[in-house]
Chains A and B, each alone.
Chain A
Amino acid sequence: MLKVENVKKAFGPVTVLDGVNLTVNPGEVVSILGSSGSGKSTLIRCINGLEKLNAGKITVDDFDVSKPKELAEARKRSGTVFQLFNLYPHMTALQNITLAPIEVLKRPKAEAEAEGRALLTQVGLGDRADAYPAQLSGGQRQRVGICRALAMKPRYLLLDEVTSALDPEMTSEVLDILAKLAKDGTTMVFVTHEIEFARQISNRIVFLEKGVLLVDLPTEKFFAADGGLAQPRVAQFLSKMRKD
């Protein structure tokens, strides 16, 4: 279980997360919606330990990310895919994927590479294993980024606006893969602006507004008139996003 309890985070005088509570059970797909600056990405960065909490507690399968000794275990259980891919530019697609399994999980190189190639094949990049990031398109890079996270066999996949830097065609390449992962039962925390897609794959939708978690509802309920839409801020956000 991934548990966020009363988390507060401020950057200087600016409060970004103000008492957020969230629980993600294995097998669930939880999408986090909210306008830019609402704290969505910061929440992900708190879960994977890139930001220190000011208050509250985050545990990944009972490992507390605020405790240095437990952070390593917590990180083994979660994999992050970034908005700007953040691939290692000097390594091939395959090397990007196998580095952590070999160095952190101490997997034999041949095994890690075989698994890496299998992952690349799954995302339709079986023939680009030896390409460098600079030789790949944005959509291809992000698919490598997803493989890199999956190679660590995480229990929770954290996706931080993974399609925001892609054009619509590349976005659909990446979303197709996420849909497949969701169908296979991968647990995901999905920060996104792709509302329709979130609606299709999520079990639950969470709405953040100015660092406060306003709504946390099952997907159907979120889009129902007596559910999430009853919240004026959610209704406003959804109608604005649909117009764009």
Chain B
Amino acid sequence: MRLDLTILIPHLGFLAEGALLTLEACALALIGSVILGMLVAIARTSSSKWISRLAFLYVDLFRNIPFIVQLFFFYYGLPEIGIYIDAFTTGVVALSIAGGAYASDAIRAGILAIDNGILEAAEVSGLSKRVTFTRIVLPIALRTSVRPLGSVLINMILTSSILSTITLNELTGQAKIVASDTFRPFEVYVVLLVVYAALTYLVSLGITLLHRRLNRDLQEQVS
């Protein structure tokens, strides 16, 4: 069999729609999981036993259940008890919750790595807990956690292909339709391979730039 990509030309618009949906879902889930990850990381480093326990429970729970099971539970399970959420929202929420569990790990490691002396300097200068967290703890934690966080985000883009199983026709979903319409799965999935690789490459490029920016004082050592 020979590779003939031209047969896909009539379907490019259709595939692009799917790619756009993937991008939208991933962008929203990216924001959601980073915010959730931060909150959970704060909770896990909290001095309150109950808050930290609850946060650990969340992380352990969602890391130990296959994503597709979580997704099916939200989309097909919840309506049984009267909770209906549309496929797109379910997809974004499920990705955020699952991604947040992993993101919190990366951010928590960054927070724990901060030199205690720096926090003491902030404390004695009278900075409030809120200012200390937003201006000192978080920016320093992100310096180290931005790379592992990048892996989490890339993994999330790859996982987003599973959203096609809840009727959400993102890139993989559309590709499946094109493949069955054209009977040319080889070409279709070749294109899919390239598009996903390009997407994740862009994200890792962005992460590298962000890492460089956050560590600009160490420029020579880092790059």
Contact = CB atoms under 8 A, between A and B. Distances in A.
Interface string B106-132: 000000000101101111111110010
B124 A72 contact: no
A149 B120 CA distance: 13
Contacts of A79: 124-125
B217 A104 contact: no
A90 to B, nearest CB: 5
Given A76-B126, A100-B125, A103-B128, A88 B216 contact: no
A84 B131 CA distance: 22
B139 interface: yes
Contacts of B118: 86-89
B194 interface: no
Contact of B127 (A49, A104, A135, A149): A104
B217 A135 contact: yes
Given A86-B121, A103-B135, A75 B143 contact: no
A99 B127 contact: yes
Interface residues of A, number: 27
A49 B124 contact: yes
B136 interface: yes
B interface, over-half SS = helix
Contact of A82 (B120, B128, B214, B216): B120
Contacts of A103: 127-128, 131, 135
Contacts of A148: 121, 125
B218 interface: yes
Contacts, number: 67
Contacts of B139: 90
Q: How large is the interface on B (under 10, 10 to 19, 20 to 34, 35 or more residues)?
A: 20 to 34
Contacts of A149: 125
Most buried by B among A50, A78, A88, A89: A89
A75 B216 contact: no
A104 B123 CA distance: 11
A197 interface: no
A125 B140 CA distance: 24
Contacts of B115: 86
A100 B106 CA distance: 29
B117 A82 contact: yes
A88 B124 contact: no
Contact of B140 (A72, A76, A78, A89): A89
Nearest to B138: A90
Contact of B217 (A49, A80, A84, A89): A89
Contacts of A49: 123-124
A48 B125 CA distance: 9
B83 to A, nearest CB: 43
Contact of B125 (A75, A84, A132, A133): A75
A134 B217 contact: yes
A198 B127 CA distance: 31
A152 interface: yes
A117 B128 CA distance: 24
Interface in B180-223: 214, 216-218
Interface string A6-27: 0000000000000000000000
13 contacts: A72-B126, A86-B115, A87-B118, A88-B121, A89-B118, A90-B217, A103-B128, A103-B131, A104-B125, A104-B128, A132-B217, A132-B218, A152-B126
7 closest Cβ contacts across the A-B interface? A132-B217, A86-B121, A100-B125, A86-B117, A104-B126, A134-B217, A48-B124
Interface of B: 115, 117-118, 120-128, 131, 135-136, 139-140, 143, 214, 216-218
Interface of A: 48-50, 72, 75-76, 78-80, 82, 84, 86-90, 99-100, 103-104, 132-135, 148-149, 152
Given A75-B124, A132-B217, 19 more contacts: A50-B124, A72-B126, A75-B125, A75-B126, A78-B124, A79-B125, A87-B118, A88-B136, A88-B140, A90-B139, A90-B140, A99-B125, A99-B127, A99-B135, A104-B126, A104-B127, A132-B218, A133-B217, A152-B125
